[in-house]
Structures are given as C-alpha cells and as structure tokens.
Amino acid sequence: MTQTRARLTARAMGTPLDRLDGTAKVTGTARYAYEQPFAEPAHLHPVQATVAAGRVTGIDTAAAEAVPGVLAVLTHRNAPRLAGTGDAELAILQDDRVAFRGQLVGGVVATTTETARYAAGLVRLTYDEQPHDVELRADRDDLYAPESVNGGYATDTAQGDVEAALAAAPVTVDRTYTTAMCHNNPMEPHTTVAVWADGALTLYDSTQGVYAVRAAVAPLFGLDAEQVRVVSPHVGGGFGSKGTAHAHVVLASMAALVLPGRAVKLALTRQQLFFLAGYRTPTVQHIRLGADLDGRLDAISVDAVSQTSRIKEFAEQTAVAARMMYAAPNRRTTHRLARLDVPVPSWMRAPGECPGMFAAEVAMDELADACGLDPVELRVRNEPAADPETGRPFSSRNLVACLREGARRIGWERRHPAPRSRREDGALVGLGVAASVYPVFWMPGSSARIRAGADGRYTVSIGAADLGTGTWTALTQIAADALDVSVERVDLRIGDTAFPRATVAGGSSGMTCWGSAVVHAAEELRDRYGHEPPEGAEATGDTGENPDTERYAMYAFGAQFAEVRVDADTGEVRVPRLVGVFAAGRIINPKTARSQLRGGMTMGLSMALHEHSYMDAQLGQVANHDLAEYHIAAHADIGSLDVSWIDEDDPHVNPMGSKGIGEIGIVGTAAAIANAAHNATGVRVRDLPITLDAFLA
Ligand code: MOS
C-alpha cells in the first residue's frame, strides 16, 4: 500500500503557468486522433438504423459495393464475430435486432470520406418495425429501481420518519421539477483511427481514458490487453461523452480487422453524436421539504425518475446531493428508471449533481420564500456539522464562505426581496443564488513512472488524459514540486497505453488520482537515489490508498449568483452577470482552473436557457439533432463571468491538497438563474430550459 508521507510543498503549484500544449494547439501541430498521418488511409462511414425498434429483414449492399473506391461494406451478415456481447451498446452488428433509432447497423469503408458517406447512403435495409416507446413520465407503471446508481451509490436511502415530519412541519415545499435531455457537443467530435497490423490493434482515439478504451475493446475481439494500444495525446473536449468507449470505436476496430495493415479513419458527424455518444437523461424530481418557521429543515424527500435504454442500464444519481447537502434529521431519497427504446444515456458534466442540484436549489429558494427568509441566510441556517447521512466530518466545507463572498461580489444587498419590484429599461431585473457541490473521488489504479535523464531533467509518464482541461500543465506542476525542481526540467508524457496505467479523466478525479501517483513515484525515486539520481534511474508509484477517504466526507463546494433581466414585453431572458465562488482545496494552476470553472458556468447557463434535446415521440428520435436546432450558449449569450475561489487548506484529500474542478462549475448555475428569474418576474420556473413563453402569461 502506498501512502503519502508528507504533504507536498507548493512552488510550481499555485502559479498561473501558461498551457504547455498551448503553442502546439494554436499552431496546429498538436495531433488529435483523426490527424494521425498515414499513407493511403481508408475512411469509414456508419450506417444507422432508421427505425426505433424492430429487426433488419433485408440487406442490399450491391449498389454501395459497386461504387468505385468502396473497400468494404459491413453489416451483421458479414461483420467479425465478437468474443463478448455482454455490453449490448458495444456488441454491434452481431444480430438483426434494432434497439433504438440511429443505432449502428453497418459501415462502409472507402478510399475517401466522400465516397464512404455516399455509398453508406446506398445501403438498402428493410425492417420489421415494432412499436417503440420513448416517453419518460413519472406516472409510468413500469418504473423500476436499479441495483445501484451511477457512481456506485445506493438507489434509495431513508433516515427518520419523513412522512410524519412533513405532516408536522409548519412550512413545507412540495413540488415537481424537470430537467431536459441534453447532449454533449465537444468541439472535436468522436474520432477513431484503427490499425490492425502484426497481431496488434492500435487505436488513435479521442478519449478521456486510453486504458478505459483498451479495457472495453480488447475482450470484445478476444485480444490480450497488450495486443491493443490506445493513443490519445490531445482531446478537444469530452464532458463525459468520451469517458467510456462507445460503439463507433468497435465499428472502426472491425473495419481495421477486415482491412489488415490499412489505417481506417472514422470521425462521427455532428448529427451522429446525438445517437451514439451518450447524453444526459431527462429527469423528473419530486421534492418535499419540511421546515420550522425559521427555515430549519426537519425533512428532505427526493424522488428522482430518469430514463435508460432497452439494451444497457445507466442510472443517473440525481438525488445523491440531497443526501449530504443540508442538515435535517428526517430524509429519504429514491431513484427510479424507465427503460425505453432510446440511445444509451451516459455521463454529462456532473451527472447526478448537475440535474439534482437544479431541483434541490430551486426548492430551497421556494422554502426561503415560504419562510420570508433571505435565500443566503436559509442555506447558512441549514449547514450540517457533519455529513448528515454518514455522520463523518467533512474534510473541509466552506460553503458559507463561498455564499458570503459571492453575495459581496454581486452586490446582494441591492436585491429586492419582493419579486417583480425592480424594473430597468423595460426589463424586470432580479438576483438569485444557488449552492454548488461536487464530490472528491479517490480511484485507485493509476501508476506513474519517473526516469532521470541527462542534465537534471526528468521524464514523467502516465496514461492520463488532457481533454483541454489543462492536465499537461497542472500535472507537470505537481511533478515539479514532487521532484523539487523547476517545471522546465520536467517532460510529461500522457495519453498512451504505452505509459503506465491511469484511471479515466472522469468524476473530476484526474488530478487527485494521477497527481498522487506522480507524488509517490517521486518519493520512491528520491528514496532510492537521493536528490541527484544518475541518468537512467527510474521509479514508479501508484495512487495507492488514502485512509482519510473512509474517515471524512470529501466535497468541493461553491456558490453561484446570477443577475437576470427578463424583457417585460417579450419575455426574453438575459443573464448579464454570473458570479461563482468555489472552495476546491488548493488550486494547482489558477489560469487553467479559472478556465475550467468559467466553462462549467457557461455550460450551466446553456443548460438553464438553451439546451434541450427534443424527443419526437412518433419518430422515436431527438428531432433537433444538429447545432442549428440544438442551441448552445454562444458568446453573445454570456455577459460578465466573475470566477473566484477562497483559499482552502484541506490536509485530507490528497498530497496536493486539491479537489477536482472540472464539474463543480456547472452545478447550481441553472438554479441560480431560475431563482433570479423568479426574483425578477415573480414567475417560478420549475422546468428546464427556461424559455420566454414562461413569462408571457
Ligand atoms: Mo465527467 S461527466 O465525470 O467525464
């Protein structure tokens, strides 16, 4: 068991080092997956199901095969047989069944992308179409309780007697909130270049985890892990959609097996992402709060409903934040799922916390209203002394400091407590607040290797990922401090299974897990060789264990404030100001951290006002599956974004004292905007996204 002996002293950590990969990116020399150069690559274009449920009854590939330049047409009749079909999302082209519209049912490989795409359109499939069911409703009679929810959390929890407490409470809130289906749209689409040569499969893949892709792909093809190499040094965004291997990686690998020695390139189109790369499930959340007249909570109840696919279960952990956020002796949470004929839902930035805290934090605003209390004060009054569910102390919890600082920054004292009482230039103006939270996850299983080079340089290798987040830079800073040298003397290598094993860039856990491994490797190197190791000296270290994760509840916290202006005539909603204050342990690089938090808040505003994958119940597909109709916040939608953090010293989380920052920025933003819109207009919006029709009553 590896355990850190001492906390790391910050020298490079805490400095706003420019991105080490910045020059390569802006000069176009940073190679993304699709840009790997190959002589005469082949190009793959998927064929997707055009029914939402049923079976393929006829396949005619003659016209596609007759197109000059077509190298192969794959369908379930001729595709390589997979060794494992346990993951039905990945087990494509193995039989004639169709589980959702857009599912992969074939692929065309050709000498150019244009030829592949054209020929894919000539593949004729006929279907025995079956009725489909894609409608999520909380009153369905076939909802079921999963074994557990994403993250390994318990499906249901209960403490005390919620019903009795609610019945006795002088003040209650009893409301239902909904969040929309949303799709991740990273700038770089999902891309894979697959090459099968000399008994080994190499994948240049846009992924959040090279080892996760290898672990998914190798057994499917009956290969040993060592026969699959995954390379991914640069990634243009993921947000969770690249955290697990999706079916397109299998299709590209199949095509490579059929064309040995030839690189097969696949880049999903923007439209295809809406079927094949996961999405945030819509949620329906019934929240009941019971409090005394002073706003002190006595009961919290959350019943969350979301959807999963017919072929693979994903259970959004929507209600988990309600388990630890505020004090209350009586509490219960439940999660139920509807199994539908839809694509497989998956991770989208802060799964669970993001949709869950929208509902919970709007409910808290409603409680503040009902009690005639300031919403900041209400939250302060319900601060728990320890994790309400487990009784464990928090390793650090500075929500109140975030709320106070955020209130100061936005000028909370200028807020009119009475809704619809501030009007400026034809707009109704309001301020709102919501809290934010995200867990600090410790995932064992990463290793780092450090090798001493000539002239006092060190090479640090680990199969970690940089999605655009800043891993290249921040992990170099950690390594420099761990080795007690300047950052110029550290050469970091990431994004390749040729380097030691690393966990996925997910759950905001990258720096905690990879950084700990790097620190332990540096300790090992110093133990063995002292401060001036000879050239070629090498040591490895693991993430290891952190016994404090059993003793403490570990979370980052934040406070989000919004100023909202609603046009009194048109109902148009604008958000001229967002203020986010976070308590996330030591900030390793203030420049990349600010960018992460700003990005999260931007995505939260986008969720609040724009993002909505509209499910067409008759067609059984997301109707607005492109960026023309799926709206994402653009520059003109974003006003002032004030991002800051409070100094937080947490000796328990990891040797760096850091907490993750990739996801907390999105949590609570939408609630702050909804609460500000209520303060501006008196209209309580409980369903996302918030659109102008809500204000035109
Ligand atoms: Mo993030 S949704 O944990 O990749």
Spatial neighbors of 158 by CB under 8 A, at least 6 apart, are: 331, 332, 333
Query: What CA–CA distance (Å, rounded) separates 68 from 111?
Result: 9
The C-alpha atoms of residue 491 and residue 426 are separated, in whole angstroms, by: 57
Q: Which residues of 621-653 are buried (b: 16+ CB within 10 A; e: fewer)?
A: bbebbeeeebeebeeebbeebebebbebebebb
**Section 462-487 average pLDDT:** 98
Mean pLDDT calculated for residue range 291-319: 98
Q: From ligand 1's centre to the CA of 382, what distance in Å?
A: 29
Q: How far is CA 264 from the centre of its chain?
A: 28
Ligand 1 contacts CB of residue 240 (under 6 A) = yes
Spell out where 387-526 has E strands: 423-424, 427-439, 447-452, 458-461, 490-493
pLDDT digits (tens, 9 = 90+) for 336-374: 999 999 999 999 999 999 999 999 999 999 999 999 999
* pLDDT interval class at 7 (50, 70, 90): confident
Alpha helix positions (H), 268-326: 270-276, 320-324
Res. 18: pLDDT tops 70: yes
Dihedral sign, CA of 614, 617, 618, 620? positive
Q: How far apart are CA 104 and CA 661, in angstroms?
A: 35
396 and 648 Cβ atoms separated by less than 8 Å: yes
**Mutation probe of ligand 1 site: the residue of 349, 353, 438 with most atoms within 8 A of C-beta:** 349
- 363 phi and psi angles, rounded to 5 deg: -60, -40
Q: Is pLDDT above 50 for 661?
A: yes
Q: Return the ligand 1 atom nearest residue 508 CA.
A: 3
pLDDT (0 to 100) of residue 487: 98
Atom of ligand 1 nearest to the CA of 347: 2
Pairwise CA distance, residues 91 & 93, whole Å: 7
pLDDT category at 3 given cuts 50, 70, 90 is: low
Pairing of strands 330-340, 297-309: parallel
- pLDDT confidence band for 509 (50 / 70 / 90): very high
For the stretch 194-249, pLDDT in tens is 999 999 999 999 999 999 999 999 999 999 999 999 999 999 999 999 999 999 99
Assess contact for 410 and 577: CB atoms under 8 A. yes
Rounded distance between C-alpha atoms, residue 135 and residue 131, angstroms: 13
- Nearest Cα residue to 239 out of 571, 568, 611: 611
> Which residue type sits at 674?
A
Q: Is the CB of 209 under 6 A from ligand 1?
A: no
Beta-strand runs (E) in 78-145: 97-98, 104-110, 124-129
Look at residue 683 and tell me whether its pLDDT is greater than 50. Answer: yes
Alpha-carbon distance values, 493 to 71, 193, 235, 472 (Å)? 36, 21, 14, 8
Residue 413 bears catalytic tag: no
**HSE (side-chain half, CA atoms, 13 Å) at 424:** 8
Q: Tell me the torsion sign for CA atoms 271, 274, 275, 277.
A: positive
Average pLDDT, rounded, for the chain: 97
Tell me the two tokens of residue 465. Answer: 């990922």
Asked whether 438 lines ligand 1 (CB < 6 A), one says no
Query: pLDDT tens-digit profile of 519-551?
Result: 999 999 999 999 999 999 999 999 999 999 999
Q: From the alpha carbon of 506, which atom of ligand 1 is closest?
A: 3
Residue 5 has pLDDT above 80, yes or no: no
Residues 6+ away with beta carbon under 8 Å from 628: none
Q: What is the mean pLDDT of residues 109-138?
A: 98
Find out whether the beta carbon of 243 lies less than 6 Å from any atom of ligand 1: yes
- Alpha helix segments (H runs only) across 530-614: 548-551, 590-609
- Within 8 A by CB and 6+ apart from 644, the residues are 405, 409, 580, 581, 582
Domains and CATH numbers, the chain: 22-30+444-541 (3.30.365.10), 38-131+187-276 (3.90.1170.50), 148-182+280-349+365-440+551-695 (3.30.365.10)
Pocket of ligand 1 contains residue 347 by CB under 6 Å: yes
Supply the pLDDT for residue 1.
Answer: 45
- Interhelix angle 669-681/590-609, rounded to 10 degrees, is 50
Separation between Cα atoms, residue 588 and residue 484, nearest integer Å: 15
Atom of ligand 1 nearest to the CA of 504: 4
At residue 390, does pLDDT exceed 80?
Answer: yes
CA–CA dist 73, 79 (Å, integer): 9
Which residues, other chains included, contact 573 with Cβ-Cβ below 8 Å and sequence gap of 6+? 564, 565, 566, 567, 609, 673, 677, 690, 691, 692, 695
6 confidence band (pLDDT: 50, 70, 90): low
- Of 189, 190, 177, 240, the C-alpha closest to 603 is 240
Mutation probe of ligand 1 site: the residue of 663, 664, 666, 667 with most atoms within 8 A of C-beta: 663
Task: Find out whether the beta carbon of 506 lies less than 6 Å from any atom of ligand 1.
Answer: yes
As a whole number of angstroms, the distance between CA 118 and CA 107 comes to 12
